[in-house]
Structure 1
Amino acid sequence: MATDVRRVGFVLLPGTHPGALMPALSVLLSANRMAEQPCYAPETYTLDEHPLQADGLSVSPAPWQHCAPGLAQLWLLADQLPPAESLPPALLIYLQEAVAAGVLVGGLEAGVAGLALAGLLDERRCAVHWRMLDEFRERFPDVEATTHLFELGDGLASSSGAQATTDLFLTLLAQEQGQDLAALVAEDLVVERIRDGSERQRMPLRNRLGSSHPKLTQAVILMESNIEEPLTTDEIARHVCVSRRQLERIFKQYLNSVPSQYYLELRLNRARQLLLQTSKSIIQIGLSCGFSSGPHFSSAYRNCFGVTPREDRNQRRAQQAAEGVARES
């Protein structure tokens, strides 16, 4: 376990609620407590000398120009996408220099726009909260905005916000201080599991489907509620009070799929999540996701993801083992 204290800077952009700091701070402070020694030293900054106040919370950060050399991480936080003119050019240059110096630079929720304005995300991926996704894509067409929980790599990071920020900081904690401390912190924060960044945000159903068609919404809710014992297409149609043919037309029109294929992919994605993040046996996972046998599950999984469940799990374990060796070396 590393013993050097890592300085972590947070720059809160104008209008940011002080509570936006809490998911990240909770992880860092818990890590110090669980390790029984200081691992992280959080520092807060704003664009000016004015304190931030909201709902009884008050934070009195220093101006960002007071950032001293030696930061290990630097994060921008914002509640809303900031106008380009609201960020001083000197700050954007500072972000570029920080990345060049090996500092991990990231954006939390709308703070990711600062990284885009600095040109750090051109032709790169970043996680953007679903509610600001369209605006972000319009403003930054050269950036690949995703609905993943978070993106991490090449010295840059982004989080869609809230609980996803907790997942991101727990992932970083595991990389920097080891899986054991990350597990202790997750337990301390009553986090059931550390979600992978590639998981997608749980958007409102009508946003995920791209439609508010009531019958389509009802059908998908039924599917999501019946993973272990799948319903037939006829049963779903009967529950939502349409004919099978009408239900198939709705799925074709709005999702370019048929109900059975959409349902199958829904179950397989759930199975993959369990496979990569739990220790349940492959047979248990297959049965819990509505597959009647191991061969049936394996065949459907390979057709969807290009690898068998066992191969996928082994690849993930090999990757984790390699990352562990790299941390210890």
Structure 2
Amino acid sequence: MTRSVNSSSSFSSPVPDGSPQTAASTERAPAGGTTHVAIVALPPVSMSGVGPVVDALNLANEIDGRALYRWQMVSWSGRMVPLSGGAQWPADAAFGDTLACDWLIVVTERFQPFAEHRAFLASLARVGQRTPLVMGIHHGIWWLAMAGQLQGYRVAANWETYQQFAEQFEQTIVTQHIYEIDRDRATCAGGQATLDFMLAMIGRDHGPELVERIADVLGASTLKSGDERQRIPFVTAPGERHPRLNDALQLMEANIEDPLTTDDIAALVGISRRQLERLFKQYLGAVPSKYYLGLRLSKARSQLRRTSKSVVQISLACGFSSAAHFSNAYRERFGVTPREDRRNWIERQHGAVESGSREGVLVEPPERN
């Protein structure tokens, strides 16, 4: 049974008596008529994390007048899903190898290992292999990647962990887009992009008219396409630097592989190019492009010294169009070529030149307070 959604209410709420909103045992509609969705919610997760998913599916049913989607909330243990702020969401089922669905959605707002997470990953790999469409929202992509479900796919990684994800999962194609839909895998950076993502998925199945009607009910006047870049929120250090400058610096840090132009950065932080250049000169004594180049080269130097990636791989990962351009810029900044710098570094590390001392470093997902 679907929930009646009032246009003044943006997100669904758990049922007070603890009963599930959509029963796992709901009868299957005629063949081809209903998409069965399993939402695997892993703590920590909030109402704003799962609400847009549920509301989009419920509204699709309500507006169309048919059971287009039947969803169930799934937790690892089968117990209530704890939400940020103290609320709980009833689980319809425990996650396991027998789970069958058309869409499998893994959502969490931080990668947080739990006692049986290895068993969960093994089961996720098995279920994912036979599920027609597997999705990850926010840090749900970490669980999917660790279960081997995203190799060779485009993946939208949240700006907070974009670089770490790209370094750990080199066989994925990581982007800064708000969401990616790539064959039988779809990923979303989370946050406000979750609703855009869900409407895009519904639109693939049922067309733009239904999506527009859902958006109208939810008050989403402007829908974003998947290839839109994530906007980095303000994080300021009081008394240190101008907030617009801080925002520009975070944009640079989050876009190493595919560098933005100075005009792009100025537009994203809401000031003119000339204003941005003045801020960089006042606080950092450099023009934006030169400072940005320095960030990319510093990132390259770090990868040269702590991974076994080739110079070509590193040059591409740090936004250089060719290895020759990268080598020239590197030598101009550090006085040596990338290969010379790597060799010198290895020799300084107690003469450890064997290949084992140059293996890539496993980067653990970050802990957020």
With normalisation by structure 1, the TM-score equals 0.63
Deviation per residue, 1:20-77 (Å, 9 max, x gap) = 21111111111112112221111011111331234252212121138643x1100111
Residue 110 of structure 2 aligns with which residue? 80
1:59 aligns with 2:89: yes
Deviation per residue, 1:108-138 (Å, 9 max, x gap) = 1001111111112223221111112233234
The alpha-carbon distance between structure 1 residues 253 and 103, as it changes in their structure 2 partners (threshold 3 A), is: same
In 1, Cα distance between the equivalents of 2:159 and 2:112? 16
Contact 2:44–2:109 (Cα < 8 Å) also in 1: yes
Deviation per residue, 1:77-106 (Å, 9 max, x gap) = 1111244975243x4444444444352111
**Residue of structure 2 aligned with 1:250, choices 263, 287, 291:** 287
Letter in 2 for 1:64: F
Q: Secondary structure at the match of 2:149?
A: coil
Letter in 1 for 2:156: A
Letter in 1 for 2:74: Y
**Residue of structure 2 aligned with 1:207, choices 211, 225, 250:** 250
In 2, Cα distance between the equivalents of 1:45 and 1:19? 17
1:31 aligns with 2:68: no
Identity %: 22
The alpha-carbon distance between structure 1 residues 154 and 3, as it changes in their structure 2 partners (threshold 3 A), is: closer
User: 1:194 Cα shift?
Assistant: 2.2
Task: Out of 16-25 and 176-185, give the one that drifted further.
Answer: 16-25
Q: Secondary structure at the match of 1:130?
A: coil
Residue 157 of structure 2 aligns with which residue? 128
In 2, Cα distance between the equivalents of 1:196 and 1:170? 10
Please show how residues 293-308 of structure 1 align to structure 2 within 5 Å: none
User: 1:239 Cα shift?
Assistant: 6.5
Task: Out of 59-68 and 27-36, give the one that drifted further.
Answer: 59-68
In 2, Cα distance between the equivalents of 1:94 and 1:16? 21
Contact 1:14–1:47 (Cα < 8 Å) also in 2: no
In 1, Cα distance between the equivalents of 2:280 and 2:192? 37
The alpha-carbon distance between structure 1 residues 252 and 101, as it changes in their structure 2 partners (threshold 3 A), is: closer
In 1, Cα distance between the equivalents of 2:105 and 2:194? 11
Contact 2:231–2:268 (Cα < 8 Å) also in 1: no
In 2, Cα distance between the equivalents of 1:141 and 1:4? 38
In 1, Cα distance between the equivalents of 2:277 and 2:157? 38
Letter in 1 for 2:94: P
Gaps of 5+ in 2: 1-30, 234-246, 255-261, 295-369
Contact 2:97–2:127 (Cα < 8 Å) also in 1: no
Please show how residues 93-112 of structure 1 align to structure 2 within 5 Å: 93-112=122-141
Q: Secondary structure at the match of 1:129?
A: coil
In 2, Cα distance between the equivalents of 1:16 and 1:224? 29
With normalisation by structure 2, the TM-score equals 0.57
Contact 1:123–1:143 (Cα < 8 Å) also in 2: yes
1:45 aligns with 2:74: yes
The alpha-carbon distance between structure 1 residues 129 and 238, as it changes in their structure 2 partners (threshold 3 A), is: closer
Gaps of 5+ in 1: 212-216, 258-329
1:161 aligns with 2:204: no
In 2, Cα distance between the equivalents of 1:17 and 1:101? 28
The alpha-carbon distance between structure 1 residues 237 and 182, as it changes in their structure 2 partners (threshold 3 A), is: closer
In 1, Cα distance between the equivalents of 2:200 and 2:267? 33
In 1, Cα distance between the equivalents of 2:266 and 2:228? 19
In 1, Cα distance between the equivalents of 2:265 and 2:204? 37
Contact 1:95–1:105 (Cα < 8 Å) also in 2: no
CA RMSD, Structure 1 to Structure 2 (Å): 3.5
Name the structure with the higher helix share: 1
Contact 2:251–2:265 (Cα < 8 Å) also in 1: no
Deviation per residue, 1:176-213 (Å, 9 max, x gap) = 111111111111111122211111100142211239xx
Contact 1:99–1:105 (Cα < 8 Å) also in 2: yes
Letter in 2 for 1:76: V
The alpha-carbon distance between structure 1 residues 23 and 43, as it changes in their structure 2 partners (threshold 3 A), is: same
In 2, Cα distance between the equivalents of 1:59 and 1:66? 22
Contact 1:148–1:199 (Cα < 8 Å) also in 2: yes
1:176 aligns with 2:212: no
In 1, Cα distance between the equivalents of 2:128 and 2:57? 21
In 1, Cα distance between the equivalents of 2:50 and 2:276? 46
In 2, Cα distance between the equivalents of 1:13 and 1:5? 25
